[in-house]
Structure 1
Amino acid sequence: MHKPVVSFVAPSGTGKTTLLEKVIVALKARGVRVGAIKHDAHRFEIDHPGKDSYRFTHAGADTTVITSSETLALVKRHAASPSPEELIAAYFEDVDLVLVEGFKRSTLPKIEVHRRAGEAKLICRGEYHDPALLAVASDEPLQLDVPVLDLNNPAQVAEFIIKRVVQGMAA
């Protein structure tokens, strides 16, 4: 893959979305064009009954686009969830970096989110040693073979991503 990408992984309820939201703000402040992908292991509906676009999709349209002067949304039916690599290639040409929430078993470069109050075992350094782990963002000190970033310092996480992933791919 030729696009800089980082997946944030952790058990549900650890704070991935909260951290990602703050990291996006910090990256945008540095002038980085950011794309985001949220992996949802459950079924979800982006459109709602009664709306025209919902009616198109439920009538059988394989692809429905909802657009306005400021926003575009795409509803695309598929038999199986596309890989993050497929999604990035298809939809993220116009960004400098793609941040992904989830896809913990992918080969994407990862930052694992860890909280003292959460699960003691790490996903990427537990029973499974993930070679794609770049760092762990934690609220407690850990002794690991990868950098441990301050979970409560999204600017530090953003700077790590810029230096290690964005500039690292350009080198």
Structure 2
Amino acid sequence: MKIVNFVGYSGSGKTTLIEKLIPIFCAQGLRVAAIKNAHHNFDMDKPGKDSYRYRRAGASQVIVRNADRWAMFSETPQGAPHLSELIAHLDPADLIVVEGFKSEDSDALRLEVFREIGRGEPPICQSDESICAVVSDKAREAFSALPVLDISSPEKVAAWITEKLQIKGIEKC
């Protein structure tokens, strides 16, 4: 499976970009999966619901399903799983789109999403040599010799990714 990992600071536009890229990849006939790293505590389960009650009672895993989808909740008292462990749980896909995991090493194609958002952080690519392109609203000297892809042109970003990963989709009519 081919993997593209988008890293960047909170508020840089990673989620919005990925939300635009997924339908472009799907329109090419690609089966796309997504993994998101959340930095803050989150809980998709709602207090009072059966699955929440099962987890609170001590179940280490809970699966909930309906006619349209299913989800599995797994408690991880030993710590957060590595990206590769999460990928192992996915069904086969042509492309896995990952958001976050900037501190983990992987074989993924890594792109930084960078926009000036007023906090003065330097681009991650200045300290992370595994980043091979930057998606931004304008080129900056700090990006060094890396390719800079226009964040307002998701079609061009998708084309660059599919070319770089050598993914061949099937155009849908």
TM-score for both structures, normalised by structure 2: 0.87
Residue 151 of structure 2 aligns with which residue?
Answer: 151
CA distance in 2, matches of 1:56, 1:137: 42
CA distance in 2, matches of 1:145, 1:136: 10
Greater mean deviation of Cα atoms: 104-113 or 40-49: 104-113
CA distance in 2, matches of 1:117, 1:140: 13
Q: In structure 2, the residue corresponding to 1:23 is in which secondary structure?
A: helix
Greater mean deviation of Cα atoms: 16-25 or 139-148: 139-148
Letter of the 2:145 partner, please give it.
D
Q: 1:99 aligns with which of 92, 97, 100?
A: 97
Residue 54 of structure 1 aligns with which residue?
Answer: 52
Aligned pairs, number: 162
Mark the CA change 1:76 to 1:117 in structure 2 (over 3 Å): closer, same or farther.
closer
Residues 36 and 98 in structure 2, CA contact (< 8 A), matched pair in contact too: yes
What is the correspondence of 1:12-23 to structure 2 with a 5 Å cutoff? Answer: 12-23=10-21
Letter of the 1:146 partner, please give it.
L
Q: In structure 1, the residue corresponding to 2:102 is in which secondary structure?
A: coil
Letter of the 1:135 partner, please give it.
A
Q: In structure 1, the residue corresponding to 2:125 is in which secondary structure?
A: coil
Q: Deviations over 1:19-55 (max 9, x none)?
A: 1100111111111111111101121111001111111
Q: Deviations over 1:80-106 (max 9, x none)?
A: 1101111001x2232111111111112
Residue 7 of structure 1 aligns with which residue?
Answer: 5
- Percent sequence identity is 40
CA distance in 2, matches of 1:166, 1:88: 20
Aligned-pair CA distance for 1:142? 3.1
Structure 2 portions without partners, runs of 5+: 169-173
Letter of the 2:135 partner, please give it.
A
Letter of the 1:88 partner, please give it.
I
Residues 114 and 138 in structure 1, CA contact (< 8 A), matched pair in contact too: yes
